[in-house]
Amino acid sequence: MKLRFPLLLMLLLGLSVYAVQHNSKADNEARYELPKSSSRTQIVKHTGYTLSYSEDDEQAFWVAYVLTKEHVEQRSAKRTNKFIDDPAVRTGSATNADYARSGYDRGHLAPAADMGWSETTMKESFFFSNMSPQEPSFNRGIWKDLEEQVRAWAIDNERIYIATGPVLSGNLERIGPSGVSVPRYYYKVILDYTQPELKAIGFIMPNQKSTRSVKDFAVPVDSVERFTGIDFFYTLPDDLEKHLESQVDLNLWSWKQKKVRKQPKS
């Protein structure tokens, strides 16, 4: 008994330390992607992403989530294409009637392809709170190219932190019975917080067709913050946040070749 009790005590202490460290790591990892929230928006948490909802615009100011190599490679759930109201938005989200015959796509902010790692996350990716009116040529063109590029980075870097959304400023066009704002620009910011090479990058894209490369739209995260008024990655240590957000080194990121998309027959 004298031998067993110390051994058992050491084992229990070891498990306790592991649990604390594990939970602490999970808590730390879960916070980096979230921008600083505003008192005039509703924060809504779903399984695969968190969003800040603007009732005035009937869409999210931002959608934030962690994307891992496992998420991208697992892809166990099939795309549903079933767009539904978000029951978690207290004031009610936009609906299909808002987009019907508008000429705009129901553009995903958190892409369905990023949420294919479970049936639940796939379903929740089709909530209207995760949609924004996008020009079809933009949604299916340069925006899709950027989404594919980000998934490649998740594989390359094991884990990345993403915040994305529309730029909801200025006198914007409105569509549908709910008056959904039509953004002129969209943004995406990405943080790689895995050693040995920490880095961050941002993108600002006009809501229109483009034949340019995704790389042409890359900017420092600071530029996206000034353009949107949103404070990204604010939970990082101040010196590190300033360093990562003030510059962008394109050579630190791998780049997919731009696809040549076939034009529909006239």
Binding-site annotation: residue ranges for Mg(2+)? 139
Task: For residue 192, give both structure tokens.
Answer: 């790689």
Helices 238-245 and 221-228: angle between axes, nearest 10 degrees: 90
The residues that bridge with 163 in the sheet, in sequence order, are: 64, 189
Is residue 108 among the annotated active site residues? yes
The single residue of 22, 46, 71, 108 carrying the catalytic annotation is: 108
Residue 250: CB atoms within 10 A of its CB come to: 9
Label each residue of 185-206 as H, E or C: EEEEEEEECCCCCCEEEEEEEE
SS3 16: helix
The residues that bridge with 104 in the sheet, in sequence order, are: none
Residues serving a catalytic function are 108
